[in-house]
């Protein structure tokens, strides 16, 4: 405590007790008495300093004020209820992916975005709870340690050095409390934004699942027409992928490289059902003429998708999937690089 007592059993008298004990209630009278008793002049200077420090501020709020702020925070950011909903959506997405017999990149991206947004909202909710506890703790410390009546400290005697030390401690607590309250307000705002973002991403996943489910009849017809094929021994791509690769190479080649099979954990490349038609060396943005050629390849593949069994096309961070053709070209999340975002190549996957 800032105002330490020599006798721990002695409590600070209330206003009624002061009146009963005959103590003066006029501060000026008590102050004159204290000065006449030989209070050092340095204490007078300290008193002015302490009064300025003990002016009402957010840092001197009572514990109830901190609790009220925390209650507003909890109301602004209620406990996240998205994990259960997200799990149900992911189960539906997994079932659709199995039925669609191939990676649905838009669905995977939507799942990842919804999962990340929900996790961010939950993390901020936990941080908000910890910040609320810290604000309440500091509010309680300030309330219990602070002098409720500054004049009582100034006029109650004591040496100037002790008073200055106590004032410095009070100032520190005040600043700490104010900083925590500001951090709490920022967390409340960030948490609310995170919950709204999570709601948007989960809503997008809802809509995508509904659209995919609505295309089920068309997809069934496509999959009945284009039966699964096994990779050809040697270069490990399916006959259908080879047909598409050769047709594009004849029409738009030669290319710097055409990358098809590669042993990955997911996607169409390890199944021999995808090729990347490189427009520049890997990781380098293509020249304007090559960018235009990429658009021509993508447009040709889209126009001939139903005849060749093309499942989806990715170019310049956008994807078109015949299984949800009504969505058109959909912007994909930023994956962090020229190649990862398909700016230097056209990706084509087949059934």
Residue-level pLDDT at 98: 79
Considering the domain architecture, whether residues 79 and 149 belong to the same structural domain is answered as yes
Distances (CA, A) of 226 to 100, 307, 311: 12, 10, 10
Give domain status of residue 26, yes or no: no
Give domain status of residue 76, yes or no: yes
Residue that the structure tokens 């106590």 belong to: 166
Q: Where are the beta strands (DSSP E) in 90-236?
A: none
Q: Looking at 214, 249, 279, which one is the last position of a domain?
A: 214
Give domain status of residue 260, yes or no: yes
Considering the domain architecture, whether residues 141 and 192 belong to the same structural domain is answered as yes
Give domain status of residue 52, yes or no: no
Residue-level pLDDT at 316: 98
Considering the domain architecture, whether residues 62 and 205 belong to the same structural domain is answered as yes
Give domain status of residue 192, yes or no: yes
Give domain status of residue 25, yes or no: no
Quote the number of domains for the chain: 2
Task: Give the C-alpha separation, 272 to 260, whole Å.
Answer: 7
Residue-level pLDDT at 251: 95
Considering the domain architecture, whether residues 122 and 178 belong to the same structural domain is answered as yes
Give domain status of residue 253, yes or no: yes
pLDDT tens across the length of the chain (351 residues): 434 444 444 444 444 443 444 444 444 444 444 434 444 444 444 444 433 433 444 344 444 444 444 444 444 433 445 567 888 888 888 888 777 877 788 888 888 888 888 888 888 888 878 877 776 776 676 666 554 445 555 555 555 566 666 666 666 666 766 777 777 788 788 888 888 888 898 888 888 898 888 888 888 888 888 877 766 546 799 999 999 999 999 999 999 999 999 988 889 999 999 999 999 987 899 999 999 999 999 999 999 999 999 999 999 999 999 999 989 999 999 999 999 999 999 999 999
pTM of the model: 0.56
Task: Give the C-alpha separation, 223 to 227, whole Å.
Answer: 6
Residue-level pLDDT at 65: 45
Counting Cβ atoms within 10 Å, is residue 248 exposed (0-12), middle (13-18) or buried (19+)? Answer: buried
Residue-level pLDDT at 71: 45
Residue-level pLDDT at 145: 58
Considering the domain architecture, whether residues 209 and 246 belong to the same structural domain is answered as no
Domain hosting 156: range is: 58-214
Considering the domain architecture, whether residues 75 and 199 belong to the same structural domain is answered as yes
Residue-level pLDDT at 348: 98
Residues 6 or more apart whose CB falls under 8 angstroms from that of 32 comprise: none
Considering the domain architecture, whether residues 166 and 284 belong to the same structural domain is answered as no
Considering the domain architecture, whether residues 302 and 208 belong to the same structural domain is answered as no
């Amino acid at each position: 405590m800032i105002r330490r007592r020599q006798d721990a059993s002695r409590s600070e008298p209330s206003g009624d007790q002061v009146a009963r004990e005959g103590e003066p209630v006029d501060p000026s009278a008590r102050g004159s008495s204290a000065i006449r008793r030989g209070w050092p002049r340095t204490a007078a200077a300290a008193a002015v300093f302490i009064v300025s420090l003990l002016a009402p501020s957010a840092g001197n709020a009572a514990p109830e004020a901190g609790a009220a702020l925390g209650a507003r925070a909890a109301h602004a950011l209620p406990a996240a209820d998205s994990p259960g909903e997200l799990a149900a959506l992911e189960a539906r997405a997994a079932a659709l992916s199995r039925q669609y017999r191939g990676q649905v990149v838009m669905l995977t991206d939507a799942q990842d975005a919804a999962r990340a947004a929900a996790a961010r909202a939950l993390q901020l909710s936990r941080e908000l709870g910890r910040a609320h506890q810290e604000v309440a703790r500091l509010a309680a410390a300030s309330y219990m340690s602070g002098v409720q009546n500054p004049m009582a400290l100034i006029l109650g005697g004591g040496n100037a050095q002790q008073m200055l030390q106590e004032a410095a401690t009070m100032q520190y607590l005040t600043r700490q409390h104010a900083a925590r309250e500001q951090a709490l307000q920022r967390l409340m705002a960030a948490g609310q934004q995170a919950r709204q973002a999570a709601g948007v991403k989960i809503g997008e996943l809802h809509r995508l699942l509904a659209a995919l489910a609505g295309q089920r009849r068309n997809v069934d017809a496509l999959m009945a027409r284009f039966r699964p094929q096994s990779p050809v021994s040697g270069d490990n791509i399916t006959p259908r992928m080879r047909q598409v690769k050769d047709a594009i190479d004849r029409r738009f080649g030669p290319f710097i490289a055409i990358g098809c099979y590669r042993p990955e954990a997911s996607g169409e490349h390890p199944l021999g059902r995808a090729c990347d038609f490189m427009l520049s060396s890997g990781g380098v943005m293509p020249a304007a003429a090559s960018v235009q050629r990429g658009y021509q390849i993508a447009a040709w593949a889209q126009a001939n998708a139903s005849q060749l069994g093309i499942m989806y096309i990715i170019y310049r961070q956008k994807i078109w999937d015949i299984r949800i053709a009504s969505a058109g070209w959909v912007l994909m999340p930023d994956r962090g690089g020229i190649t990862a975002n398909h700016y230097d190549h056209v990706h084509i996957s087949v059934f």
